[in-house]
Structure 1
Amino acid sequence: MTDCGCDPLAPQLPSTANPPAQTHLRRRVATHATALARMRTAFGADGRSPQLRALARQSAEDPAVALLDAWAVVCDVVAFYSERIAEEGFLRTATERRSIRELARTLGYELRPGVSAQVELAFTGETAPGAPAAVTVPRGTPVQSVPGQGEQPQTFETAEDLEVRGAWNDIPLVDAEPQHVAREAHQLWLRGPTTSVRPGGRLLVVRGTVSRLRVVDGVEPEPAGHAGWTRLRLVPATDTGGAGEAWDGPTEVYAFGERASLFGWNAPDPNLLVTEHGRPAGSEHVDSDDADQDLDHHRWMDFGVDPYALELDGDRPSVRAGTDAWVAVEQPAATDDAPPILHAAPVTKVVPDGAQRYALSGRITRVLLAGPRRAVPELERRRAVVHCASWPLPAQERPRTGPVAGTELEVHATDPPLPVGRSVLVVGVDAAEGQPQVQAATVTGCTPSGERRMRLELDRSVTGLRPDSVRVRGNVVPASHGETVRQVLGSGDGRVSFPCFRPRRAPLTHVRSTTTPEGAAPELEVRVDGVLWERVPRLDTAGPQDRVYVVRHDEDGGADVVFGDGLHGARLPTGEENVSATYRVGIGAPGAVGAGQLSLLVRRPLGVRQVENPAPAADWAPPEELEQARVNAPVRVRTLDRAVSVADHEDLARGYAGVGPARADLVWDGRRELVVVTLLGTDASAVSAGLRTDVHAALAAVRDPGTPLEVRAGQVLPFGLSVAVRHDPAHERAAVEDRVRAALTAAFGPAVRTFASPVSSAAVLVVVRQVPGVLACTVPRLEPPPDHEEARVAEGLLTAAPARWHGGVQAAQLLALDPDGLVIGEMTQ
């Protein structure tokens, strides 16, 4: 024995010291072995009788020692449950959901029950003759999904009334822009899939007062990505007129169906027709001082060409007069380095006639051209070629080739136009990746912009869509996952304090709400004797006359409706089945339907043809997990529902329903500081613009407006890694690789990552080495995300950036392992 009375040989109690931030408590003061050893030590202590000291050395087969062993078991059980009970009393160490729920309630925090999935439904109105012009789809109209393999049909209900018009079903974008053909243009666009223009044909391009003749080199009907258009390739231009004149004004393009010569082009040389009787009729003698030209001293009279009164050889019934009927006279240049001569003008009059001149006779077509008369280079009757029988080509517009961007869209006009405040969906194909895209927006303006066109102004910018694929769906209404249930909850009894009623179906639907700190509100309406009662967060602040109730969730997914006791909330009046409720059921992941799955109208309104969801459901959230609750529960104490510091913005955003990872940063843009909140949805999924707007509104309501606030969708950077593994021969190689893959996905998948957190090769190595069946592995090699210069690997560390200013405000980045980029090799040495 020591001076303090302690036996130095007696087993010591295990330490019950608990440093901060531990996930398990150490409060088991006596295990079975420790308790039995202490009892044996007590029996064998100095001063005990020889019989007891001898008993302490007996085996467990002795009945007395067996009794001690039984009490040691009792001590072990009591110590175990004492430790478990103590663990359930702390938020960090509790493992039971009910324990965490009750602990969180002491902080004024309720575990989030989840959020219903949201979707935009696009209705299609009937357009057949006799169909109503407008149909109202009432709020709460149910639409069911077509379930996939192993799924159950899900019901979504519209959130508001919707006026459906057939004219707003599918409004196409005006995918063309004015075509201004430059002097040296190498191509020309025509609207329409086919054209009678052939390679080698001539086109007359008229712009303002200048005209140019171009030669067609090739014809491409409906080139890739431009259905309904024809592209003409043009031979490189030569200067065919108009040099020095202004090349402006609207563009007009004409094609020609015929090519003709001027009457007299094949007239014989009058010198060859001179006889002894004299020269031919219609010729004249020309004096010449050149002795070598004795034979060339006669010519045809009036052999020149009036450029505004042409005589076409032959009968040309296809040549007509009119402002859109042109002829073009083309004449090769006298020398190779000189430009050809071109004269073009509209036809004002066409007269079929005959002529007998130049030793020729035959039918001609007189064509008078419009003035004003201008100086035209001398045309030669034998060399000039006349292009006639023209028709205009649809060349006023060309297809848009750049991606659609901005908040303004020019679409085909509808009657009536889309009203301001109307929700629409802009659908199309991504110009870069070729994938279908759906972008939701609200109409802020709709004005006519031309013949059968209107300019649509949206509250959000549309970006990255291929012009020919863009359509605006105008019959759009938001809907949420959940099915309406009407139920009599029970009978009121004024003698009972805090009466509790339970809806028979669960889980209770919760939808996003900006009026609650948690960002979600139940779809529940309770009436007592036909009078609507109000839901409140808690009853301790309610007065004795307040008709209020609270909703309390339990661990099996159900919910209880609890009323007051006459001091904290009014008592229920006594009555027979006078407590009724209208609520909706459905929440979380079951509502995550894909695009196009919602198509079954349970009650089809007259005049509605069909319904669909062009985009998948989004912004859903499952009931809060235990680990999330441990982090989010202290938020109420840290923030007191106010955003003062930058960290407060992050805490409140992370606790908002439907939000997964969140981060807040203070960014300097060169002129001012602003708070940038970056967030992603559940499991690091993409967030909709509606959720970002709701988070912004919720934060704006509880913060100082002095510092600007922006809420951005986070950027997920998928990285790859490669590692070689040596496995234990006792384990199958394929099974070990599957376990390694699963461990890395669980440790570095998007659902568990946070913004701006780096990834190191050492952290990956630790995860791989802890997998059962792995004997050794090489140092993992990290592969940075492609096309992201900011994410670099330096000394085995892959970094992600927070929100920052880089040519504009940039959202924070989140590094997540790409399953397709994970390569597991075999370690050979």
Structure 2
Amino acid sequence: MNSDFNDHADLTRWNRAGLSHLDYVEGNAATYLEDLRNTLSLLFLGDAAIERWLGDPGNDLTLRAWQQRLLEQYRGPRRDYAWELLRSFARAVHVLAHTTSALANERYLRTATQWDSVRRLVAMLDYHPAPPASAETWLALFGRSDDAAIGEVEVGLAVQNAPTDGSAPLIFETLNNIDVDYRLNELRAPDFDRSMLQLGLGPATPLLTLQLDSVPPALGIGARALISAGDLGATVRLQNIGAGSVSVQYQDAAALGLDLPLADLRLHADPDWQQAPRLNGPGVVRTDRAASVGAGDVLAFVSDSFHISGRGTVNVFSVIRVLEVDGDRLRLSANVPAGKALYPTQAAGPQQDGGSRLIMPESLGYPQVWLDDDALSARTPTAQAVEDGPGTLYRYLSASLAPRAWYLATGTPACCDVIETQPAALRFSGDPGDLASGQWLLLQGTTGWYSRRLAGLEQDDEGFELQFDSLPAAERWYQGVGLWKLQLADRRYDRNETPLFEAPAPGSDLSSRLWLRLDDMPAALVPGRSLWIAGSDSGVRVRLQQVEADPAGGAALCLTVTPPQDPARFPKADSRVHGNLVLAGHGESKAPAVLGSGNRVLSSQEFLYAKTGIAFVRDSRYTSGVRAAVRVWADNREWTQVDNLRDCDATDTAFQQQLTGDGELLLRFGDGEHGQRLPSGSSNVRIQARIGNGLAGNLPAGSLSKLKKPHDLLAAVLQPAAATGGGELEATEALRDNAPASVLTLSRAVSARDFQALAERQSSVWHASARALQNLPGARERIELVVVPAGGGNLGDLASHLRRTLEQQACPGVSVQVRRYEGLLLELDILLRIDEAAYDPDEVAARVRDTLVAALSLEKARLGTPLYRSRLYQLVESVEGVENADCRLNPSGFFNDQDLPSAPGHLFTASDGSIRRISPHPGQLLYLNPALASPNIRTEAHHV
């Protein structure tokens, strides 16, 4: 040992709580050899031979020189047997001293490194390591769509994931029986697929923008199109076309303001049919045959008749001008009643020599003629007498009255008869093709474009006629457009963004009532049933309280659930309710096995179930928060598992369990005072266990998608939420804190520190932090517990389980609120200086990265614990090959693990603005997550 050991060394200065190792030894083989040399020098002082043999002690001016001399002395070549005896003795002292120091450490819980030592020390406190925990999750079962496939699915239904890495699938089993009904597979709101938006369009709001998934290339700015919504329609023109939208401008001649439901709104564009109708509108008549007349001709018809004595019936003629001709259809300058015969008139012009008279025949079929002016004015021509005898040579009018005149020649036959006045407006030639009732068409009239839905279609040998319920009167139609190649819907048309839940009561933000589409009330839909409500980006489990039928007799049911929910989280378009919901736990049940033979004479019999990986399920009655997933029978009677037999009466058929150091299950039965003794029998104690626990069970949502075996009632399975709560056996490091804390809490929570200690005893929890909240008037005591679940992620049902467990261990009236930690991401920018002649920079950078990830991981970090930049330097420069480094903390700011901006409680910076210390809030946990914020590690050559 060091020669100064008894005189000067005070090793108790190292024995401070919090160290991972207590150092009871000062020195090593090299220093011990030097101590021996110095001692011999003093004993043989003045003996030159001995002094030469011991060697010159040298003149050590620095600590480094002293260390270098001692190493060379110890490692130098052998001189003789006496020197080798000294060196061997120094080496033996080194080994024995450090062995004794190590054994001394094993006697102290804070420094013990051997599992057996830790186990014995915590056993002295009557503390047992918390068992592992098995993850749990909710499964939505999908029944086969068959009326006969309704019934009970018993506990133990096995489902599994499908790993992509070649590993064996994980098995989960349902923990309860459930009545499955295929009608409850997936329930939706009655109008979930109909948008409730109303879009205005009309003269006051002429522009409307539609959002499209994609814009077809056939759409072009300026093209005419049609907007429809149910029985409402309007003519529009395409105005603006973008990458995912198109704007239309109202151009309907009806000039009506429309309120269009988005769910029914369609944009009809790119017509495949466009045709002009037969002549129609005011002044149009249909005749019995195609007349040989042209536009501009004047026709006469009998407008009146009367009887004159001696002369008989005298007809009065009127004339009209032909404006357009379309086969047997004529557009006339005035209306002509049906049944009238039309007579062609003749034109009389001036004399060929340019005279001033309009010359007509001497004999006229009607005494009056009509001037070729706008009004076709009637005149009576003057007779020109024959100069050589009596009679009339011709009749004439002054050419100054009109450029010409029309007269009805004697004996002129009718050119046609009017059989219909203002005939059917929309008559077309040819074949209608794919036109059919119900289609939307655009019609161009005198006053503009109209949108109309086709009510009917009649076809004959001469063409076809379109019929509409209503058309503007006195309108002439020029064109019909239809058979739209494109019928586009706004991409929001089937998204009902209104909340699934009814509006909250006044003064509240939460609601418990929702309506679902269901024809009748399944027998399985009873109060107490668990339901999963999936929203757009999250889901929640609720419990059914009440079911009411639609008083109006509709195909809907009103459900009241608990707890109430924020309606904004669940829009109808994205919300689904899974009614066949059952809890499942990680693990697979094994066949029952014989545990041993009971003996009533023996007290507190123990049996070892030599299986590892036992599943543990949540149970708030247990201090550890979980109980073993085992069933035990003695003489075919099932015994009850309890947390501790000390709490049992002499008549209770109970047992308790604990894990051995090898992870096997040790079961202990009663002693007759605390729990019954086992009945005597041969191999009469049997056990059945479920195997599966640990962090591996914390599967993300959607992982469990396969039934292990087909089931007569089931078609599929869905895991709507992540599995949570899986944790490993309590680690040795955790025992150092949790075992002493158990002595202080005695499984009861009084102070905030007690709540934290009890929470951290559970394997499902990595870290916890508790604080007392201010009591509100009339409210009971409140404790807030911030939890880092094992493996990270969300709490899920672990939050409610922790709350129940801690409230049972707390004083009456204490309310515990459990919330998830806020993960504050650590961003690192590190420059390493490396002797590149001796080390590979990439390998050194990889080792630095691994060191940082291991030391600053989620599991290692602590809630609310600050991080100093000096800690980074300590970690980085401890890696072999790093000469020195530059480290920067979060140069780009702070984000949490939900990718949202965040901020720590305090930041301490240097004069150059660099961060020297980050102090999180009590509920924040600062950690390094390379998947979300990978450290930026750069290297450069180190130059001396």
- Relative distance call for 1:410 and 1:475 in structure 2 (3 A) is same
Which of the residues 479, 493, 499 maps onto 1:398?
493
Q: Kindly state the Cα deviation for residue 579 of structure 1 after the two structures are TM-superposed.
A: 2.0
Match of 2:171 in 1: 155
Which of the residues 282, 294, 298 maps onto 1:273?
298
Match of 2:248 in 1: 235
**1:67-466 superposed matches below 5 A:** 79-127=97-145, 132-146=148-162, 148-149=164-165, 151-171=167-187, 174-183=192-201, 184=205, 186-187=208-209, 200-203=224-227, 213-215=234-236, 217=238, 233=246, 235-237=248-250, 263-264=280-281, 267=284, 273=298, 279-280=319-320, 295-297=373-375, 311-314=424-427, 369=470, 380-382=474-476, 398-400=493-495, 412-413=517-518, 415-416=520-521, 418-426=525-533, 430=537, 440-444=541-545, 452=555, 459=563
> Match of 1:745, SS?
helix
> Match of 1:90, SS?
coil
1:683 equivalenced with 2:791 (yes/no): yes
Match of 2:582 in 1: 477
What is the alpha-carbon distance in structure 1 between the residues aligned to residue 450 and residue 265 of structure 2? Answer: 16
Q: Percent identity?
A: 23
Match of 2:634 in 1: 528
The answer to whether the Cα contact below 8 Å between 1:60 and 1:69 also exists between their aligned partners in 2 is no
What is the alpha-carbon distance in structure 2 between the residues aligned to residue 422 and residue 218 of structure 1? Answer: 54
Code of the aligned partner of 2:582: V
Compute the RMSD of aligned alpha carbons: 5.6
The answer to whether the Cα contact below 8 Å between 1:718 and 1:815 also exists between their aligned partners in 2 is yes
What is the alpha-carbon distance in structure 2 between the residues aligned to residue 61 and residue 405 of structure 1? Answer: 94
- Relative distance call for 1:312 and 1:709 in structure 2 (3 A) is farther
Match of 2:817 in 1: 710
> Match of 2:662, SS?
coil
> Match of 2:133, SS?
coil
What is the alpha-carbon distance in structure 1 between the residues aligned to residue 482 and residue 34 of structure 2? Answer: 119
What is the alpha-carbon distance in structure 1 between the residues aligned to residue 463 and residue 847 of structure 2? Answer: 96
> Match of 1:95, SS?
coil
Q: Kindly state the Cα deviation for residue 177 of structure 1 after the two structures are TM-superposed.
A: 2.6
The answer to whether the Cα contact below 8 Å between 1:212 and 1:240 also exists between their aligned partners in 2 is no
1:791 equivalenced with 2:903 (yes/no): yes
Q: Kindly state the Cα deviation for residue 716 of structure 1 after the two structures are TM-superposed.
A: 2.0
What is the alpha-carbon distance in structure 2 between the residues aligned to residue 63 and residue 573 of structure 1? Answer: 73
Match of 2:826 in 1: 719
Q: Which moved more, 1:819-828 or 1:736-745?
A: 819-828
TM-score (norm 2): 0.65
- Relative distance call for 1:684 and 1:278 in structure 2 (3 A) is closer
- Relative distance call for 1:116 and 1:249 in structure 2 (3 A) is closer
Match of 1:631 in 2: 737
1:620 equivalenced with 2:616 (yes/no): no
TM-score (norm 1): 0.73
> Match of 1:182, SS?
strand
- Relative distance call for 1:701 and 1:237 in structure 2 (3 A) is farther
> Match of 2:589, SS?
strand
Q: Which moved more, 1:460-469 or 1:746-755?
A: 460-469
Code of the aligned partner of 2:132: G
Q: Kindly state the Cα deviation for residue 699 of structure 1 after the two structures are TM-superposed.
A: 2.8
- Relative distance call for 1:822 and 1:351 in structure 2 (3 A) is closer
Which of the residues 832, 855, 858 maps onto 1:750?
858
Code of the aligned partner of 1:422: R
What is the alpha-carbon distance in structure 1 between the residues aligned to residue 580 and residue 197 of structure 2? Answer: 33
Q: Deviations over 1:648-679 (max 9, x none)?
A: 33333333341223223456799999643222
Q: Kindly state the Cα deviation for residue 162 of structure 1 after the two structures are TM-superposed.
A: 2.0
Code of the aligned partner of 2:940: M
**1:498-513 superposed matches below 5 A:** 498-513=604-619
The answer to whether the Cα contact below 8 Å between 2:236 and 2:251 also exists between their aligned partners in 1 is no
Match of 2:769 in 1: 663
- Relative distance call for 1:251 and 1:531 in structure 2 (3 A) is closer
Code of the aligned partner of 2:427: G
Which of the residues 761, 766, 776 maps onto 2:869?
761
The answer to whether the Cα contact below 8 Å between 2:824 and 2:902 also exists between their aligned partners in 1 is no
- Relative distance call for 1:343 and 1:14 in structure 2 (3 A) is closer
Which of the residues 818, 822, 825 maps onto 2:935?
822
- Relative distance call for 1:518 and 1:329 in structure 2 (3 A) is same
1:22 equivalenced with 2:19 (yes/no): yes
What is the alpha-carbon distance in structure 2 between the residues aligned to residue 411 and residue 122 of structure 1? Answer: 17
Code of the aligned partner of 2:832: V
Which of the residues 921, 933, 939 maps onto 1:802?
921
The answer to whether the Cα contact below 8 Å between 2:188 and 2:575 also exists between their aligned partners in 1 is yes
Q: Which moved more, 1:273-282 or 1:751-760?
A: 273-282
- Relative distance call for 1:404 and 1:381 in structure 2 (3 A) is closer
The answer to whether the Cα contact below 8 Å between 1:800 and 1:813 also exists between their aligned partners in 2 is no
Match of 2:625 in 1: 519
Q: Kindly state the Cα deviation for residue 455 of structure 1 after the two structures are TM-superposed.
A: 5.7
Q: Deviations over 1:82-141 (max 9, x none)?
A: 54443233221122233333433444432111101223333332226xx62313211123
Match of 2:392 in 1: none
Q: Kindly state the Cα deviation for residue 627 of structure 1 after the two structures are TM-superposed.
A: 1.2
Unaligned runs of 5+ in 1: 1-6, 225-230, 286-292, 300-305, 334-339, 354-360, 371-375, 431-436, 804-810
> Match of 1:700, SS?
helix
> Match of 1:723, SS?
strand
Q: Deviations over 1:214-248 (max 9, x none)?
A: 3263999xx99xxxxxx9x56222585577x8969
- Relative distance call for 1:799 and 1:115 in structure 2 (3 A) is same
Match of 2:754 in 1: 648
Match of 1:779 in 2: 887
The answer to whether the Cα contact below 8 Å between 1:60 and 1:66 also exists between their aligned partners in 2 is no
Greater radius of gyration (CA): 2
The answer to whether the Cα contact below 8 Å between 1:206 and 1:251 also exists between their aligned partners in 2 is no
What is the alpha-carbon distance in structure 2 between the residues aligned to residue 35 and residue 772 of structure 1? Answer: 28
Q: Kindly state the Cα deviation for residue 544 of structure 1 after the two structures are TM-superposed.
A: 5.3
What is the alpha-carbon distance in structure 1 between the residues aligned to residue 687 and residue 27 of structure 2? Answer: 53
- Relative distance call for 1:614 and 1:768 in structure 2 (3 A) is same
> Match of 2:935, SS?
strand
Q: Kindly state the Cα deviation for residue 622 of structure 1 after the two structures are TM-superposed.
A: 0.7
What is the alpha-carbon distance in structure 1 between the residues aligned to residue 878 and residue 673 of structure 2? Answer: 58
What is the alpha-carbon distance in structure 2 between the residues aligned to residue 214 and residue 454 of structure 1? Answer: 41
What is the alpha-carbon distance in structure 1 between the residues aligned to residue 877 and residue 27 of structure 2? Answer: 35
- Relative distance call for 1:752 and 1:69 in structure 2 (3 A) is closer
The answer to whether the Cα contact below 8 Å between 2:695 and 2:790 also exists between their aligned partners in 1 is no
Q: Kindly state the Cα deviation for residue 824 of structure 1 after the two structures are TM-superposed.
A: 0.9
Q: Deviations over 1:749-801 (max 9, x none)?
A: 22212233344433322221111110121232423345644427662057475
Unaligned runs of 5+ in 2: 56-77, 285-292, 302-316, 322-331, 336-370, 378-420, 502-510, 910-914
Query: Paired residues, what number?
Result: 748
Q: Which moved more, 1:569-578 or 1:541-550?
A: 541-550
What is the alpha-carbon distance in structure 2 between the residues aligned to residue 625 and residue 736 of structure 1? Answer: 30
